[in-house]
Amino acid sequence: MSALEIERVARERLQHAIGYRFRDPAILLRALTHRSYGHDNNERLEFLGDGLLNFTVAAEIFRLRPKAPEGDLSRLRASVVREETLAVAARRMPLSEAMLFGPGELRTGGHKRASSLADGLEALVGGVYLDGGIEPAQALCLKLLAPELASLPEVGSLKDFKTRLQEVLQAQSRPLPEYSVLSEDGPAHRRNFRVRCQLVDEPAATEAEAHSRRIAEQRAASMMLDAITSKERKNA
């Protein structure tokens, strides 16, 4: 089987998995084309799909949690429409097999990265909207994220790790931690940040990496929370 035939079969499998067949194959091809593969890629469709996902999930959470205040609704939506969750949804279908990546991205494992999968899922949603309109696009959003929407967490568990770490330290009358960027490298479209979370009143520190400074800080804060909790258990 030729490379072109393999790609065609992969696109057929993907359309079967999502329950939608594109009338315009060119839109599907663009939605599946990573920027590393060529100029006619899926970045604009990512933008469109991101907006559709946020709106559709917001409307569904609004329906599912009729008494929740605005702040809780926002946190619930953010827990669903985020890179890690979208990547999990993407892995439930044969998306990565159908996407087109440049040789360098394939060589470095870019086709398996959560960010690439999440972007591809957003682009696919955007492509369905262009091809078939708002109704099939929203139906796809709800189908892709059905497990997450069916098991929304308690709002109290959704405070971000930096906020939770701050609250723990304040409850102990301790100073707030300091965050610093240790390194920043990689190409412009794929920056990598290494961040340190340092406690002010003791030498304890944690370090984490991510493709955004915000996410790296959250991961470092999460590690610090685990360290504090572990220490408290030992001293109990």
Q: Which residues are catalytic?
A: 50, 122
Q: How far apart are CA 66 and CA 73, in angstroms?
A: 10
E-only strand ranges, the chain? 178-185, 192-198, 205-210
> φ, ψ for residue 180 (rounded to 5)?
-140, 145
> φ, ψ for residue 123 (rounded to 5)?
-65, -35
Longest CA pairwise span in the chain (Å): 67
Contact 183, 191 (CB under 8 A): no
Helix (H) / strand (E) element for 227: namely: helix 213-235
- Tokens, residue 216: 């790296």
Contact 131, 23 (CB under 8 A): yes
The residues pairing with 196 across neighbouring beta strands, listed in sequence order, are 180, 207
Contact 122, 90 (CB under 8 A): no
> φ, ψ for residue 56 (rounded to 5)?
-65, -45
Identify the burial level of 139 via C-beta atoms within 10 angstroms of its C-beta, where 0-12 means exposed, 13-18 middle and 19 or more buried.
middle
